[in-house]
């Protein structure tokens, strides 16, 4: 006779057993890959639980990479003002995330999150004893969530989203570890369209609320006119130059930028191009489409080998400067959007400083921001890579249009701010229950 009472528990435990078994089988392969990878070798450290000194019962934030770290830093800053005696822990998953965390200068203890191996996660949680775990967006690791649940500590997901691309992945995760979603204490989504998706995965409806997109609330560091002039002078841009920035480019998009330069540079003698590859380890291949063309590299400015004073092309090969350079731009072109695979990058960063935005048809990861900017008239979406040059020409030709688009985008960002207060209200309610 089948025991229907214990059957679901047995099935759940078996699924976790299989999940963890697969993790341990794959772990040596991942270790070897990282060991022989120049770019990712440092991530071997995630095979250990980094146990730094930290005050008792910190509020723990986990953010995967650069964008999520920015959101975490915003919340830590606000919470620090309200809870000055509280300690904070910020974990990340990537090298770029750690660099961003260090640059944000929060008062949090910084560390890498170990891989989701049960013994590493248990050791990590047991050492820090966090009062709550706040996950940014959708960093849902089964052993991480389950361990916090077993420790009796709440797990809150903020700025949560489930895109069309990622939803099927989490449906699969739900089959592997279905209780992960039911263990979440609260999910604060970017918009109401995501609520039903989280509910479908097993999060009770009463634990889901829409608080808005926190990325609208990230305050850019506005430069004064004098500061903008100084930045232009530092990198050799004339006062009358029309600056176009290709931000966070991926393979194929530097070639696209070179094609636009070839078609427009003779017509617009004051055109200045800045290209910022998303991954700096690609710099060698990124500059190849510009072979035979004078260009400079940001890291070599001031050096003899980088002194091509007449060059109107600059490759940004340094970390942490793109946001600042958007403020001297006349037009921003969002990378990762012109070819399938990447699904775009955040268009709000240039829009928030009043810069008109162009992007391609592959912006699936930022559908809400795309819709907002397009409806407001702050952005243009080109239907194909071949159409980019024409779209740039129209904006370069029409300064009043650029100004109007920039103002429209800035107004749209400002009108959608306020997610921080709503999110903090939810977080604080769980902190009160500690």
Please report, for residues 61, 68, 316, 420, the alpha-carbon distance to residue 79 in angstroms, rounded to integers and kept in the order given. Answer: 12, 17, 34, 10
Q: Which of 50, 68, 234, 288 is catalytic?
A: 68
Residue among 299, 333, 336 nearest 318 (CA): 299
C-alpha dihedral (307, 308, 311, 313), degrees to nearest 10: -60
Q: Which of 147, 120, 49 is nearest to 89 (CA)?
A: 49
Q: What φ, ψ does residue 88 adopt, rounded to 5°?
A: -130, 140
- Give CA–CA dist 421/419, Å, rounded: 6
Beta bridge partners of 274: 245, 314
Q: Which residues of 184-210 are buried (b: 16+ CB within 10 A; e: fewer)?
A: bbbbbbbeeebbebbbebebeeebbbb
Relative to beta strand 59-63, strand 132-136 is: parallel
Q: Is 68 a catalytic residue?
A: yes
| CA–CA separation, 98 and 110 (whole Å) | 8
Beta-strand ranges (E) seen in 45-139 are 59-63, 88-92, 109-112, 132-136
Residues in CB range of 356: below 8 A, 6 or more apart: 330, 331, 332, 378, 379, 380, 395, 401, 402, 405, 406, 409
Beta partners for residue 132, in sequence order? 59
* DSSP 8-state secondary structure symbol assigned to residue 115: P
Closest CA to 273 of 292, 251, 295: 295
Distance, in Å, from the CA atom of 271 to the CA atom of 313, rounded to the nearest integer, reads: 9
Residues recognised as catalytic: 68
């Amino acid at each position: 006779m089948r025991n229907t009472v214990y059957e679901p528990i047995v099935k759940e435990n078996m699924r976790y057993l299989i999940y963890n078994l697969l993790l341990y089988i794959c772990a040596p392969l991942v270790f070897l890959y990282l060991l022989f990878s120049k770019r990712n070798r440092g991530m071997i450290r995630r095979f250990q639980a980094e146990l730094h000194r930290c005050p008792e019962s910190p509020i723990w934030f986990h953010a995967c990479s650069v964008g999520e770290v920015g959101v975490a830093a915003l919340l830590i800053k606000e919470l620090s003002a309200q809870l000055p005696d509280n300690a904070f822990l910020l974990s990340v998953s990537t090298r770029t995330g750690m660099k961003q965390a260090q640059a944000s200068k929060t008062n949090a203890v910084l560390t890498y999150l170990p891989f989701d191996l049960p013994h590493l996660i248990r050791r990590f949680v047991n050492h820090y004893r966090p009062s709550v775990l706040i996950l940014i967006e959708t960093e849902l690791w089964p052993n991480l969530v389950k361990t916090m649940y077993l420790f009796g500590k709440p797990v809150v997901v903020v700025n949560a989203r489930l895109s069309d691309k990622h939803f099927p992945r989490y449906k699969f995760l739900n089959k592997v570890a279905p209780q992960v979603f039911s263990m979440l204490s609260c999910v604060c989504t970017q918009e109401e369209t995501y609520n039903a998706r989280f509910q479908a995965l097993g999060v009770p409806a009463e634990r889901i609320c829409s608080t808005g997109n926190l990325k609208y609330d990230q305050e850019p560091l506005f430069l004064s006119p004098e500061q903008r002039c100084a930045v232009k002078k530092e990198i050799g841009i004339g006062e009358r130059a029309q600056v176009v920035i290709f931000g966070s480019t991926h393979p194929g998009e530097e070639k696209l930028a070179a094609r636009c330069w070839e078609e427009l540079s003779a017509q617009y003698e004051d055109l200045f191009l800045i290209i910022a590859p998303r991954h700096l380890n690609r710099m060698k291949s990124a500059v190849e489409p510009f072979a035979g063309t004078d260009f400079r590299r940001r890291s070599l400015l001031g050096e003899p080998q980088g002194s091509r004073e007449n060059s109107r092309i600059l490759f940004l090969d340094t970390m942490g400067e793109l946001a600042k350079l958007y403020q001297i731009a006349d037009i921003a072109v969002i990378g990762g959007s012109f070819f399938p695979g990447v699904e775009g990058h955040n268009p709000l960063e240039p829009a928030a400083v009043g810069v008109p935005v162009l992007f391609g048809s592959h912006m699936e990861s930022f559908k809400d921001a795309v819709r907002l900017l397009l409806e407001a008239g702050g952005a243009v979406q080109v239907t194909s890579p071949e159409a980019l040059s024409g779209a740039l020409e129209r904006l370069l030709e029409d300064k009043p249009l650029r100004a109007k688009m920039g103002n429209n985008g800035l107004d749209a960002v400002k009108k959608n701010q306020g997610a921080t207060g709503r999110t903090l209200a939810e977080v604080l309610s769980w902190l009160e229950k500690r």
